[in-house]
Chain A
Amino acid sequence: MQLLSEVITQLSTQSETSAEEVSGLINRELTEILDQMMLKNEDITSAIISSLDGIAWAERLEKGFDQHRFAAMSSALLALSDNLCKEATTGETQNVLLEGSNGRIYVMHAGSNLVLTVFVRDGANLGITLAYAKQATSAIASMTI
């Protein structure tokens, strides 16, 4: 048993077949975490887990959302936020909150090398939805394979 973050780091050194097998397993486990989160809170309408460099690992996105673009945008946004927090000596980014006119988007670190992006319905309770998203990031961070 190994921490997910370690498994992902070592993935590029493995043979293609074995890397594919492990990737499939990781995808299923991560999708399960997204399902659990969305089952507990219906205000979360979509979610995606991606790598820090913008590759989608698992998604439960609404039809029409492009997982590859969303993964890339999430990583870009989080990387800039990390920098701004660091330069402003605000510490580590806890989460990025985007308030749209039709809903909210949360982007946050999930373990050392993944990013969780959560899409929340307009009018949903900020604290509650944020708490479920945080719970999911903890589950991802402590996930072992």
Chain B
Amino acid sequence: MMLDTNKIIFTGPVGSGKTTAIGAISDTPPVGTDVSCSDESAQIKDTTTVAMDYSYISLEDGTRIHLYGTPGQDRFDFMWNILSKNGIGLVLLVNNDHPEPVIQLDHYLDAFSDFIQETGVVIGVTRSGISDQAYIEDYQKRLSERDQIFPVFEIDARNSDDVKILVHALLAILQN
């Protein structure tokens, strides 16, 4: 068994499903820091994470993976650094229903570029059934323009199997 310090960070813009995804796969009720929205995100949801979400899952071999979710808004970017310290990888969720989802992808890949370089990232596209803002190919195209190859999955953040695929894909990348 690996040392019990396996920490994965979930990040992405407001409304991309970070809190939901962690809740969907965790073994225990997550620690959340949701409060009512008073900014423009109130238009898409009622509450928002202001510090972090935390929970863990146990893999089949008993390895415990700690899950940390960041706040989405840029004003909480100090939490991004705090939470990603000693992390082993990043799950980046992108809300496909956002007017410019590919730009959001860029934004978070840039913000976490050092961390991604040291570890690894998988991308989960959420809310993809709602609108046709972008397709998986658009994200892959953008990644190839950036000279980056990362796995991109279409997922439902409420579905634990979907979220587990992201986590397992990330762990697979990290083995290489």
Contacts and interface: CB of A to CB of B under 8 A. Distances in A.
B38 A75 contact: no
A83 interface: yes
B31 A87 contact: yes
A75 B50 contact: yes
Interface of B: 31-33, 35-39, 42-43, 48, 50-52, 71, 73, 75-76, 78-79
A53 B78 contact: no
A72 B76 contact: yes
Contact of A52 (B50, B52, B76): B50
A83 B54 CA distance: 11
B75 A54 contact: yes
Contacts of B51: 75-77, 79-80
B76 A79 contact: no
9 contacts: A52-B36, A52-B38, A52-B50, A53-B37, A55-B38, A72-B73, A76-B79, A77-B51, A79-B50
B78 A12 contact: no
A74 to B, nearest CB: 10
Contacts of B42: 12
Tell me the interface secondary structure of chain A in the complex: helix
A86 to B, nearest CB: 10
A83 B32 CA distance: 8
A4 to B, nearest CB: 13
B38 A69 contact: no
Q: Determine the interface band of chain A, counting residues with CB < 8 A from chain B.
A: 20 to 34
A11 interface: yes
Given A72-B50, A75-B50, 16 more contacts: A8-B38, A12-B42, A12-B43, A52-B38, A53-B37, A53-B39, A55-B38, A71-B75, A76-B51, A79-B35, A79-B50, A79-B51, A80-B33, A83-B31, A83-B33, A87-B31
Query: Which of A52, A73, A87 has the most chain B CB within a 10 Å cutoff?
Result: A52
Contacts of B39: 53, 55
A27 interface: no
B33 A53 contact: no
A113 B36 contact: yes
Contacts of A82: 33
Contacts of B37: 53
A96 to B, nearest CB: 12
